[in-house]
Amino acid sequence: MWRSVRRGGDTKTERSRRTLRLPRTAVETLRQHQARQASERLAAGELWKDQGLVFTTTLGTLLGAGNVRRQFKAICQTAGIGSSWAPRELRTSYVSLLSASGVPVEEIARLAGHSSSRTTEVLYRRELRPVLVKGAEVMDQLFG
């Protein structure tokens, strides 16, 4: 079954339905989360509301958007990258890191579910490499 946070519970488009392999570290982290959640379930006892969700409140209920943002900011602060990050920036980070690692933009677009690699390049990819300096160095030599 394909699920989404969208009102109808379906993915945004037919093309949005794709299966992505998770990195091993994500799988291990999810297993650790599952163990922590089992402890929360025991601690909550009868108050636990099992709704089949992966990420929940300490009582098993749906996390509100505000809760997600607050928790994300706290995680970023703990990681030492500041508290100004928002969950929506994960998508841009994913695209930018893949690009900086040499993954072709067409493949990144496919992974991100973009209908065009232009969307990936213009809206999501950020340059992570150092600023290109060769042009300035040559001009400095010529006119310096």
pLDDT tens track for 56-98 = 998 999 999 899 999 999 999 999 999 899 998 999 999 999 9
pLDDT band at 36 (very low <50, low <70, confident <90, very high): very high
**pLDDT at res. 129:** 63
pTM of the model: 0.68
Tell the burial category of 72 from Cβ atoms under 10 Å away from its Cβ (0-12, 13-18, 19+): middle
Instruction: Identify whether the C-beta of residue 98 lies closer than 8 Å to the C-beta of residue 108.
Output: yes
Mean per-residue pLDDT, 110-137: 81
**pLDDT at res. 121:** 87
pLDDT: is 144 or 128 the higher one? 144
Determine what percent of the chain is predicted with pLDDT higher than 90. 46
**Of the given ranges (32-46, 48-62, 121-135), which has the lowest mean pLDDT?**
121-135
Average pLDDT over the chain, rounded to whole?
A: 86
Helix residue ranges per DSSP H, 45-88: 65-79
